[in-house]
Each structure stands twice: as structure tokens, then as C-alpha cells.
Amino acid sequence: MHALEKIMAKAAGKAQVSAGEIVTAKIDFAEINDLYLQTIYSFYEMGGEYVWDKDRVAFVFDHYAPCPTIESARNHAEMRAFAQKNHLTYHFDISCGVCHQVMPERGVVYPGMIVIATDSHTTTHGAFGALGTGVGATDMASILITGELWMRVPEIIRVRLEGTPPAGVYAKDVILNIIGRLKADGAVYKGVEFTGSYVDALGVSERMVLCNMALEMGAKTAYIQPNQQVLDYVSARAVRPFEVETTDPGFHYAEEHVFELDKLTPQLAFPSSVDNVHPLEKGIGVKIDQGFIGTCTGGRVEDIAVAAEILRGRKIADWVRFIVIPASREVMRVCIERHYIQDLIDAGATIASPGCGPCLGAHEGVLAAGEVCITASNRNFPGRMGSTDSKLYLASPAAVAASVLKGSIADPREFLGGRA
Amino acid sequence: MEKTLQGQAVLLGKNIDTDQIYPGRYLALVNPKDVGAHCLEGVDEAIRKKAPGNILVAGTNFGCGSSREHAVIALLNAGVRAVVAESFARIFFRNAINLALPVLICPKATRLIAPDDELRIDLRTGKIQNLTQGTELSSEPLGEHILRIVEAGGIKPLIRKKLGKES
């Protein structure tokens, strides 16, 4: 069996599961974000009284942190009341950050578990050797009542990543390149495992980027076998004992794709689909109105560090806005300690409080008709960050930093490794 | 759920994401009628006007992107009768089944159905009759587990029954 199958089998109380089978799995942790007040409504509509386990459920207020509208404030208020009524052990209010960053930081995500959240990017937690997947509000409500979810055991695609990308090329470029080749529907309903020499040595942050954006190929879940860096990270944080699952030798993958990364160049997803990927050089010179670094894809310490490296002692271009939103309070604290935030403010950045920010067009930097934004986030769908007549380009945080400096899409390699 | 449905085909492309079905700026709304009022606001205005009372026919990966159940609630409350697609994104598909929005997987849908074709769908058999072209299409069987949810009228009545509440 595959490690993901072993996780599902364990949760379903079965010795063996195989692709295509429907199982009822016990859920180790369930998270509801602040877009999904419907979860509580569905919970009561179905006859729910209290959540099945107060230690295994949490709200994370990240999409509206802090609230931009009266409606979102009402949603938060009703969710807080529900959390209090149920005496939930964990509650992550507006000061905490994006759910996919906050949950691992607080130790509720660890290897071998199943984590379900009302957020499509729950695939992120494959970076920790967990099975993470997203559901809608009513599925979540049924978990809150029963502690279980019916799941189809997915076929698994292996994406083998070999070699070392050159300087200035990041995990974001790697995953954009993969999505550009496998396409937005390349892994619908499948599990995606990343393996290979590139992945073996990869740190937690980069692993999260790969697993996070596997969803943009339609993946149900993603997985990377934990390495020592991951084990060190979770061992210092996990709130429960855990067991790492491993894939049996000879496991049969549904598909295998190999990517050689030694010559990869910075990548860019052009408007308005995540799989419209080309080498960044094709977009060089496209005038931008805004750059954005943040989110569950591109708002970690490493992302803000590279932006600070590029922008330290420089000023962003006239008439360009640059929004930086650390993915969590923890990320923000480290970035303040290391002086990155100061460097970015001095360069002309606008810093907002940890959360999802403008990624889904809710607040803190939405776009007007005709505007162009280069973003370190994960989606460039029409209207994603505001007007349906705005345009979004997806790139690495380094490319975003280089672009706000120039006022147009730029290659980060021009600004890294020594100054001209 | 009604067993047969009829309506005109409203054709859409592939990878229709949930931001197009229901833009993120309205996610704080919870009243189903208010949600329905913004259905398909991220796509073409002509399609948005045509959708109520009719059947969406789309390419692959319909409903990709965000997990927002609002997308299904919007389609239901805007009066969309069913969605026929070449494939569905996973979370959207689950949400649709849970809330009893009829969804049919039909791998050649956009090649065999033209805009405004009159369609009649038999939900029990999964057959789609194209009355305009005089043809019949089959959809993929949903499987026993999903069919059980569909036949119960969605996940809510099913859980209520499981909890021993009235259905």
C-alpha cells in the first residue's frame, strides 16, 4: 500500500484499502475557516448538538482578519459563540494567520493523520506526511457531528523531481512548471506524491508550496515522505504522538511524471488560469500596478526574506503598490526580529496583518478594472483578486519583489547574488 | 429530488472555477436567496441571464478552485436545474451531491450538445436526451454510495436519519 492508503486504512479500521474503494474514515482534526458560517447552519439543520470531540475541531479566522464588513463580523461573532458553546480547546482568532500555516505551527498537524478543512488548499499538509483534503460546509458539518467522513481512496500519481534548480529558481517555479505541463485537470480526484532528489533535501516551507498547489491540478491530496527537517519541525510542536507511514516497495502508481530541474528558469502563470504557464522571460516588461507577497503559498519567512534581500536599500517603482502579508503571527514575529519587515517598509511596502489578504478578493488590496498584479499566491482566475477585468500573474516571491522594483514584470536573477 | 428534468443547454468551457460561479467578495453572505443573486457573476453576462431554469453543460474540471459551498447554493437558488460536465472538480462534486444539485458526468458533453439544445435528463438512469438533435447521451454511473445520498435528497436528511431525528 501507499503511505496515503495506510493512513486511510488506519482511519477506517481496515487492514487494507485500494484505489476506488469508498471508506468511512475517522478524522483526526477538522478545521473551519471564517468563510463557512454555513457549516454551523448545516450542523444544526442536520440535528447536531455538540461537536464530536472538542480537542479535534478549531476555527481559524483568516480570510477576514480583521473583518472588513458587517457581514463578515457577524460571521465571526456567530462562530466565536459556537466555539465557546462547544468549549473548543483550540481557537485561532484574527491575530493568528492563515489556517494552513497556523495548524502546523500549533502542532495540530503531524505525520500519519487525516486533517480536513473547509479550504481547498488543505492538500498543503502532505508536506508533513499527513493526509489533508478540503471539503465544503455541509461535509464539514457532518464531520463535526459524526467525527467521520466518507472518502474515495484515490489513485496516486508520482511526480519525480530530479536535480537542483539554479539560483533564483524556487519551489514556486517548480510547481508552476509542473502545473503548466500536467494542466489544471491533470490530477482530478487523485493523490499526488512528490519524490526525487530535489524533494529529499527540501525544507518544510518549500514542501508546503508543492503540496499546496497540487490542488491546482485538481488533486484530492498531496504527499511527501517526511525527511529529518520535517520530523524536527513536527516533533517540536505535535500535540499528540504520531507515526510516520511509508509506502511499500513495488507500489503501483497510476501515473509517473519526471521533471529535470537543473535548467529550470523562473516561471510565470499568465492570466487567467493557473496552468497558463510560460518561462517568466516571456512576460518581462509587462507593466504592473500591484505586487503581492503572502498567503498559504507564498507568505512564509523564506518568501519574505528573499523579498527583503532584493529590496533592501532600494525603493519600489513609482505608482506601484506592494502588499506584504506574513502568513502567520509567528512568521511576522520572525520577520520583524530579522529586520525584513523594516527593510520592506523602507522600500515602500504596505504591510497588513497575518491572514489571506487580497488573495480571494475580500480586502486589503483588491484590484480595479484594467489593473495588473503579480502575486506570490496560488490563483489567477478571472476576478479572483477584485474586478473581473483585472489581470493576475503568478510567480515566486522573488519575482514579485523584482517586479515591484522595476514597475514591470522582471527576472529576480537580475537582483540576486551580489549587486551591480 | 425530481426524477426527470428538462431545460435548455447553456454551454460553458472547461475549468470553470468557483470564483466565476460565485465571486469571493460575496462569501460573507449566508442567506441562500442573497447567495443566488450573485450566481455566475464571474462569467459572461449572457450566460448568467440564460442559466435560471436551464441546464449548464460544461467541459472538464467544472467547479475547480475554492471549496466554497456557496457555488452550489448559488446555482440551486438561481434556479439552475442541473450541471452536465465532462468532469467535475472533487470538492464541488461532493458539495453538489450533499445539497442535491443534480450533477452528471458526461465525457463528450460539449461535443454532442450545442447551445440552446433542449435536454431531458432522467436522473435514475443518468440518460440525457437531446431533444433538439434527437440523440441520447449516457452519463457515468455515480456508484452505490453516492446514489444513496442522492436518493435521500442529500446528506442532510441522511444524517438526520442516522441521528434518529425525523427525516
Query: CATH code at A205?
Result: 3.30.499.10
User: What's the pLDDT score for residue B147?
Assistant: 86
Do A183 and A295 share a domain, yes or no?
A: no
Full domain range(s) for residue A17: 3-240+251-258
Sequence length of chain B is 167
Kindly report whether the peptide bond that precedes residue A66 is cis, defined as omega within 30 degrees of 0.
yes
Rounded-to-10 torsion of CA A332, A337, A342, A347: -80
Cell numbers standing for residue A395: 510567480
In this prediction, residues B128-155 reach a mean pLDDT of 93
Which is nearest to B92 in space by CA: B35, B30, B11, B18? B18
Query: How is A15-40 classified by DSSP, letter by letter?
Result: S---TT-EEEEE-SEEEEETT-THHH
Query: Which of A23, A33, A35, A123 to mutate to probe the B interface, most B CBs <10 Å?
Result: A35
CB A145 within 8 A of CB A180: no
Do A224 and A354 share a domain, yes or no?
A: no
Contacts of B19 in chain A (CB under 8 A): 360-361, 379, 381-384
User: Does pLDDT of A419 surpass 60?
Assistant: no
| Phi-psi sector, B136: left (phi>0), alpha (psi -120 to 50), beta | beta
Yes or no, beta carbons of B67 and A360 under 8 Å apart: no
- Return the bridge partners of A374, or none: A291, A393
User: What's the pLDDT score for residue B166?
Assistant: 62
Question: Domain tally for chain A?
Answer: 2
In a domain, A340, yes or no: yes
- List residues of B whose CB lies inside 8 A of any A CB: 14-15, 17, 19-20, 23-25, 27-30, 42, 60-61, 64-70, 72-73, 87-91, 94-95, 98-99, 143, 145, 154-156, 159-160, 162-163, 165
In a domain, A96, yes or no: yes
Min Cα–Cα distance to chain A from B60, Å = 7
In this prediction, residues A101-108 reach a mean pLDDT of 98
Do A233 and A298 share a domain, yes or no?
A: no
Q: Which residue of B20, B27, B87 is in closest CB contact with A185?
A: B87
Nearest CA in chain A to B157: A46
- The model's pLDDT over A186-241, given as tens digits with 9 standing for 90+, comes to 999 999 999 999 999 999 999 999 999 999 999 999 999 999 999 999 999 999 99
The pLDDT-based confidence of B119 (bands split at 50, 70, 90) is: very high
How far is B96 from B82, CA to CA, in rounded Å? 10
How far is A306 from B48, CA to CA, in rounded Å? 43
In a domain, A78, yes or no: yes
For chain B, domains (ranges, CATH) are: 4-140 (3.20.19.10)
Yes or no, beta carbons of B27 and A41 under 8 Å apart: no
CB A233 within 8 A of CB A207: no
Q: Which of A134-148, A258-272, A406-420, B74-88 has the lowest mean pLDDT?
A: A406-420
Helices (H) and strands (E) in chain B, counts: 8, 7
CA R_g for chain A: 21
Min Cα–Cα distance to chain B from A346, Å = 31
Do A70 and A125 share a domain, yes or no?
A: yes
In a domain, A420, yes or no: no
In a domain, A419, yes or no: no
Chain-centre distance of CA A372, in angstroms?
Answer: 22
User: Does pLDDT of B167 surpass 70?
Assistant: no
Contacts of A361 in chain B (CB under 8 A): 19, 23-25
Query: Which of B44, B91, B144 to mutate to probe the A interface, most A CBs <10 Å?
Result: B91
Q: Which residue of A46, A146, A184 is in closest CB contact with B160?
A: A46
User: Does pLDDT of B2 surpass 80?
Assistant: no
Yes or no, beta carbons of A379 and B163 under 8 Å apart: no
Indicate whether this model's pTM tops 0.80. yes
- The model's pLDDT over A327-382, given as tens digits with 9 standing for 90+, comes to 999 999 999 999 999 999 999 999 999 999 999 999 999 999 999 999 999 999 99
Cβ count near A24 (within 10 Å): 14
Do A318 and A197 share a domain, yes or no?
A: no
CB A49 within 8 A of CB A170: no
Q: Which residue of B67, B143, B155 is in closest CB contact with A134?
A: B67
User: Does pLDDT of A276 surpass 60?
Assistant: yes
In a domain, A200, yes or no: yes
User: What's the pLDDT score for residue B44?
Assistant: 86
Query: Which of B18, B22, B27 to mutate to probe the A interface, most A CBs <10 Å?
Result: B27
Contacts of B147 (CB under 8 A, 6+ apart): none
Contacts of A388 in chain B (CB under 8 A): 23, 42
Min Cα–Cα distance to chain B from A137, Å = 6
Which is nearest to A342 in space by CA: A383, A295, A305? A305
Q: Which residue of A72, A75, A138 is in closest CB contact with B69?
A: A138
Do A280 and A410 share a domain, yes or no?
A: yes
In a domain, A263, yes or no: no
Do A296 and A335 share a domain, yes or no?
A: yes
User: What's the pLDDT score for residue B83?
Assistant: 98
User: Does pLDDT of A271 surpass 80?
Assistant: yes
- The last residue of a domain, from among A258, A292, A327: A258
Q: Which residue of B65, B72, B159 is in closest CB contact with A142?
A: B159
Do A170 and A283 share a domain, yes or no?
A: no
How far is B37 from B25, CA to CA, in rounded Å? 13
| Cβ contacts from A onto B, under 8 A | 131
How far is A60 from A313, CA to CA, in rounded Å? 36
CB B84 within 8 A of CB B139: yes
Yes or no, beta carbons of B87 and A138 under 8 Å apart: no
Reported as type and span, the H/E element at residue B120 is: strand B118-122
Contacts of A420 (CB under 8 A, 6+ apart): none
In a domain, A181, yes or no: yes
Do A221 and A287 share a domain, yes or no?
A: no
The residue ranges of DSSP E strands in A128-174, in sequence order, are: 131-134, 148-152, 156-162
- The last residue of a domain, from among A204, A224, A258: A258
How far is A169 from A261, CA to CA, in rounded Å? 9
Beta strands A267-269 and A191-195, pairing class = unpaired
User: Does pLDDT of B63 surpass 70?
Assistant: yes
Contacts of A184 in chain B (CB under 8 A): 15, 61, 64
Higher pLDDT, B87 or B141: B87
- The last residue of a domain, from among A207, A232, A258: A258
User: Does pLDDT of B17 surpass 90?
Assistant: yes
Beta strands A22-26 and A148-152, pairing class = antiparallel
Cell numbers standing for residue A344: 520592506
User: What's the pLDDT score for residue A377?
Assistant: 98
